[in-house]
C-alpha cells in the first residue's frame, strides 16, 4: 500500500492508495468505527461499488443514495442530506463516508462541516478527478445561482482511501476529464512529470495499472505537499492548484454546469487558454503553449473555446469570472506560466485584456472552421 501523509498538525491524515482497497475498506476504517455504524453517502451511478464497500464493512453501515450529476451540489440536496443524517442519529464523533466522485465528496464534506457544528467524514473517491484532486485538501462546497463552489468550508477528512481498480468501471469520457487534473501537476511546477504524462497518458487511459497507480500517487503527493504548505490559500501557494480553473469555471458557467462540459474538460480548456494567454503576453513561447494544447487534443480533451463548445463573447465569459470566489478588492488573480512547469499567480491582469483575448480566440476558431 502506498500511503501519502497530509501534514496539517492535529488535522493530519493519510491518503492510502492500493488496488483492491475498496474490498478491504472495513479493515482500514476499523479504527474510526468506535463501535457505531457508518453512514455511506453515494449516488445512483456507484451502486456496484456501494455493494463492495458494504460487504467489507459488514452490517455496520447504512446508505443514502443521491441523484448523480453536478446539480446535486445544491441547497436542495444539502438540506435533504443533512435532514437524513439527523434522522439517522449521526453524532459528532461518527464518520460519514463519501463514496463517489467530486460532487459527492464536496457535498458530504460540506454537510459534515455544518452538521452539529462539525462531524467527521471519510473520502473514498471513485473517479480519477476526485482521486487526484477533490478528495484531498479539505475544500468542500456546493454551487449557487451566482457560480460554482461559492458556498462552502474547509473541512478535512479523517482518511482518504483510493482504489485505482474502481476506475475500470468509469466511462472513458469521465476518465479523460479526470486526467486533466493529473497533467495539471506537471504544468504547475514539475516539467519531468509533464514529460511522463506525454509518454504514458495513453497507457493510463487504456487501463495500465502501474501507470494509473504511479500517476495517482504522484499527483496526491504533489497536492499534499502544497496543501501542507498553504491549507487555506493564505500565502498564494495553494492557489497554484487552480491552474485553468478561472477560465474553466467561466466555461462551465456558460454551459450551465451540465454534462455539456464536465469539470475536468473545463479545466483542460482553461489550462490551454492560460498558456495561450501567457504566450500572448510574452511570458512563455507559443511553442510551449501549443505543446500543452497538442497533448490535450491527443487524448481527447478540449484545448480551447471551440473544442469546449463555447462561442460566447469575451465580455460574457469575463462576466462569469466576476463571480469567482478568488475575487479580492475588485481584482481577480490569474494563474499564468513562464513555461511548462513554471506557473505563477498574477494579481495584475487587466480583465479588459482578457476579454479581448477571448474574443480573439473565438475569431480564430471561426476562421479555422471557415478555412
Catalytic residues: 117, 139, 181, 223, 233, 238, 242, 245, 249, 263
Q: Is 159 helix (H, G, I), strand (E, B) or coil?
A: coil
The angle formed by the CA atoms of residues 33, 8 and 194, to the nearest 5 degrees, is: 105
Q: CB under 8 Å to 139, separation ≥6 — which residues? A: 106, 109, 149, 152, 154
Looking up cell 476579454 gives: 355
C-alpha cell at 273: 487558454
| Positive or negative torsion for Cα 127, 191, 296, 196 | negative
H/E run at residue 348: none
CB 172 within 8 A of CB 299: no
The conformation of residue 328, written as its DSSP 8-state character, comes to: B
C-alpha cell at 196: 511522463
Amino acid at each position: 500500500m502506498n500511503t501519502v501523509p497530509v501534514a496539517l498538525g492535529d488535522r493530519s491524515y493519510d491518503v492510502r492508495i492500493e488496488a483492491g482497497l475498496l474490498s478491504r475498506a472495513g479493515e482500514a476504517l476499523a479504527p474510526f468505527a468506535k463501535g457505531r455504524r457508518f453512514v455511506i453517502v453515494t449516488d445512483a451511478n456507484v451502486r456496484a461499488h456501494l455493494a463492495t464497500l458494504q460487504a467489507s464493512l459488514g452490517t455496520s453501515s447504512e446508505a443514502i443514495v443521491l441523484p448523480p450529476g453536478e446539480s446535486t451540489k445544491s441547497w436542495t440536496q444539502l438540506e435533504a442530506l443533512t435532514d437524513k443524517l439527523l434522522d439517522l442519529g449521526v453524532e459528532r464523533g461518527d464518520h460519514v463516508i463519501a463514496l463517489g466522485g467530486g460532487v459527492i465528496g464536496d457535498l458530504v464534506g460540506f454537510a459534515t462541516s455544518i452538521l452539529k457544528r462539525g462531524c467527521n467524514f471519510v473520502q473514498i473517491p471513485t473517479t480519477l478527478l476526485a482521486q487526484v484532486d477533490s478528495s484531498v485538501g479539505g475544500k468542500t462546497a456546493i454551487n449557487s445561482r451566482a457560480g460554482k463552489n461559492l458556498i462552502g468550508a474547509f473541512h478535512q477528512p479523517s482518511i482518504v482511501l483510493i482504489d485505482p481498480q474502481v476506475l475500470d468501471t468509469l466511462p472513458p469520457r469521465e476518465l479523460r476529464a479526470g486526467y486533466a487534473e493529473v497533467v495539471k501537476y506537471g504544468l504547475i511546477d514539475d516539467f519531468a512529470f509533464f514529460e511522463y504524462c506525454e509518454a504514458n497518458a495513453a497507457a493510463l487511459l487504456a487501463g495500465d495499472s502501474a501507470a494509473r497507480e504511479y500517476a495517482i500517487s504522484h499527483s496526491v503527493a504533489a497536492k499534499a505537499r502544497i496543501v501542507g504548505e498553504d491549507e487555506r490559500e493564505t500565502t498564494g501557494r495553494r492557489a497554484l492548484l487552480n491552474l485553468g480553473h478561472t477560465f474553466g469555471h467561466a466555461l462551465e458557467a456558460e454551459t450551465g454546469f451540465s454534462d455539456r462540459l464536465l469539470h475536468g474538460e473545463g479545466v483542460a480548456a482553461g489550462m490551454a487558454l492560460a498558456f495561450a494567454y501567457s504566450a500572448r503576453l510574452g511570458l512563455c513561447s507559443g511553442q510551449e503553449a501549443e505543446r500543452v494544447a497538442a497533448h490535450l487534443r491527443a487524448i481527447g480533451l478540449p484545448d480551447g473555446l471551440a473544442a469546449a463548445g463555447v462561442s460566447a463573447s469575451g465580455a460574457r465569459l469575463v462576466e462569469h469570472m466576476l463571480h469567482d470566489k478568488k475575487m479580492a478588492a475588485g481584482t481577480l488573480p490569474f494563474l499564468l506560466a513562464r513555461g511548462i512547469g513554471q506557473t505563477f499567480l498574477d494579481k495584475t491582469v487587466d480583465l479588459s485584456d482578457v476579454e479581448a483575448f477571448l474574443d480573439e480566440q473565438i475569431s480564430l476558431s471561426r476562421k479555422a472552421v471557415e478555412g
